[in-house]
Structures are given as structure tokens and as C-alpha cells.
Amino acid sequence: MNPQKVKNGPNFMQQVNKKKHVDCALSSNSESSDDEVDEIVAIKKDVQKQRFSVSAEAYGQFNKKENFKAKFIPKTKEQSERIKQRMQAGFMFSALNDKEIEIVVGAMEEKIFNKTEYVIKQGEEGNVLYVVDTGELECFKNYGKGDIFLKTYYPGESFGELALLFQSPRAASIIVKSDKAILWQLDRETFNLIVKEASIKKRQQFETFLENWDLLKEIKDPYDKLKMSDALFEKQYKKGDVILQQGQKSNEIFILEQGKVSVNKNNQKLFELIKFGEYFGDQSIVAGTVESFTYVAEEEIKLMYIPKKSYSSTLKEIEGTLIKNIQTKYGKYL
Ligand code: CMP
């Protein structure tokens, strides 16, 4: 293999959207997933007693009632805690609640791979998703003229979800770069029933936002944009709420979705943010300084935010622009 270290991509988003819309249309009539989860949690309790997997009725994909095997692989407490930590570090599981996380942890299976070993081969059928516990792996994609390096995966990151989300062949290859890699493998059934629904809901929720946020036009790989929705959250504030205080370090980059936010310094209002996509909290996260301003909700507002821990895997790619923007936005008030 002689991979070129460049980054580009085909019109992947179109394929993904097409598939996604089919999937979502098909699943939109399904019954409440909360009920399903409650049912599965009950099963999980039994499973913990019995220490082997059992069956239960649950509504699955395509609105069909199917026999779902709540897979459970016994683990030490320490292993379960480590998986949870890894899951929290990445995006894939960010939409899950505590009950769902327990089920997923129970279903994970440890897999060990050696240096240069293929974990996933592009074009093959895929039935599992992986979370990196230790080691580093590289992702390559062949667009027809040899393998192109796309990215390195580190502990906490996950891959292999596309084949499960869209029932497509593996879209890239993943090879172990370090001497050894310990991965947690999640089966298709648990993924489909627990993770997929939450992930699709979240991606749909933020789809319009991602398509319209100007800043993201610079991100070349549509796959990276798609993944960004997993790192996005939403918060509402009431009139008068202080969102971020001058002199503090922010734990989030906030993005204005709806409403008006005032920017204040030493108790004096300087200007207002009113446009969709205007953002703040970037001084702490991008420039590493404390915030120079206090941000106050001037009415009931809706903000999106990207947690600090997700910055390096989402917006870091456009850090140059973000730093330039700090000067343009605040330069005359600093
Ligand atoms: P999957 O297609 O199941 O298997 C290969 C994995 O590579 C894929 O899921 C993604 O998790 C990961 N991947 C990372 N970057 C890309 C990309 N640009 N296009 C497709 N897959 C990617």
C-alpha cells in the first residue's frame, strides 16, 4: 500500500442523505422507542442475574416486531467503566441516555488486533461497529486510484457505523498502526435498536443547521460534517440569563440558533449577536485565553453548543479561520 496523505472525498453526503431519508421514512411510523428501552433494561436486569443472553420482543427497524437478543458479555467492573469512559470521549454514543449506555456496555465484546492487521476492508459486508480502547488505527479509502489516507483513530473514537446505518458495504479500510490495538466491538442488532435510532434522530435534528452554518463551508469532507451533528447539543435560556461571564473559561463553543444575545464588558453593553450562526466561547477554546466579555440572553433564546472535548475532532480543522475571526469579531474591544 502506498497511500497518498491527502484529504478529499466523493459526493458522499448525497448517498448518505438518500439512504438516510429512506431509513427515516421507513422508521417514522414505529412505536415509542422509550418503551422499547424500558423493556430492554428489564431484560438486562435478568441477564445480569443469569449471565447469559435472553430474547425479548421489541420493535425493530422497518416497523417490524422482531425477536431481539439482548446480547450480554460478562465483564469486570473495571472493564465496564473503561468502556463507558471511551464511549463518553467520542460522538457516536452522545445521544444515548444512561439506560441505553448500560445495554450497549453489556453487549460490547473485546477484540485484539496486531500491527498492520485490517480491522475493516473497504467493500466487504459489515456487521459490527468498533470503539478504540487502546492503540491507533488508520483509515484509507480507495476512490478508484489507490488508497488515500483519511484519518487516524485514537482511543475513544469509533468507526464502522456507516455499513450499519445505511446497510452498505464498508466505505473505507481501517488498519492497525500501533503495535497492538484493543477494540470494543458492538453487534449490529444492539447498534440498530439502541444506537442507530438515537444517532439518526440527532443527525436529522441538526441537519438543517449544519447545511446552513457558513463556517462549515470550509470543511471539505462531507463525512466530517455529518459526524459533527453527533457533537452538537442544544440549550435554551431565559431573558436575563448569563450564559458566559467575563474572566471565565468556557467549556463550550456556543452558536446562536434563535434570539438575541448581548455582549458586555465591565457591565457595559457593547453590541448584540442576532444572526443565526454567530458564535462565542471561542476565545477560551480556540485561543486558550479567558473570555473578555459577558454574554447575556436578551430574550428567550436557543443556542447550539459544541463541548470543549469535541473541538479537536470537529472545528480544529478550520482553526486558522477561527483565530482570524476572533480578531475580526472582537479586535476593537479587546
Ligand atoms: P463503514 O463504512 O462501516 O466502515 C469503514 C469506516 O470508515 C466507516 O464506516 C466510517 O466509520 C469510517 N470513515 C472515516 N472516514 C470516512 C469517510 N470519509 N468516508 C467513509 N467512511 C469513513
CA dist., res. 188 & res. 207, Å (int): 24
Q: Which residue has the higher pLDDT, 164 or 90?
A: 164
Residue 303: exposed, middle, or buried by beta-carbon count in 10 A (0-12, 13-18, 19+)? buried
Check residue 46 and give its pLDDT.
35
Mean pLDDT of 63-81: 76
C-alpha cell at 45: 436486569
Percent of the chain whose predicted confidence (pLDDT) is above 90:
54
Local structure of 160: helix, strand or coil: coil
Output the CA 53–ligand 1 centroid distance in Å.
Answer: 30
pLDDT at 58 over 50: no
Residues 6+ apart with CB under 8 A from 88: 156
In tens, the pLDDT along 228-268 reads 887 888 999 999 999 999 999 999 999 999 999 999 999 99
Name which of 204, 194, 5, 32 is nearest 102 in CA terms. 194
Pocket test for ligand 1, best of 125, 159, 161 (most atoms within 8 A of CB): 159
Pocket test for ligand 1, best of 125, 127, 137, 150 (most atoms within 8 A of CB): 150
Mean pLDDT of 206-226: 82
In tens, the pLDDT along 295-334 reads 999 999 999 999 998 888 789 889 999 999 999 988 888 8
- CB of 171 closer than 6 A to ligand 1? yes
Confidence of residue 67 (pLDDT cuts 50, 70, 90): low
In tens, the pLDDT along 5-21 reads 333 333 333 333 443 33
Q: Which residue has the higher pLDDT, 89 or 2?
A: 89
Average pLDDT, the chain: 80
Mean pLDDT of 30-53: 36
Asked whether the whole model's pTM tops 0.95, one would answer no
Least confident of 100-114, 121-135, 282-296, 304-318: 304-318
**Mind giving me the DSSP string for 172-228?**
SEEEE-SSEEEEEEEEHHHIIIIIIHHHHHHHHHHHHHHHH-GGGGG---HHHHHHH
Which ligand 1 atom is at minimum distance from the Cα of 221?
Answer: 18
**Mind giving me the DSSP string for 117-142?**
-EEE-TTS---EEEEEEES-EEEEEE
The answer to whether the beta carbons of residues 181 and 138 sit under 8 Å apart is: no
Check residue 40 and give its pLDDT.
39
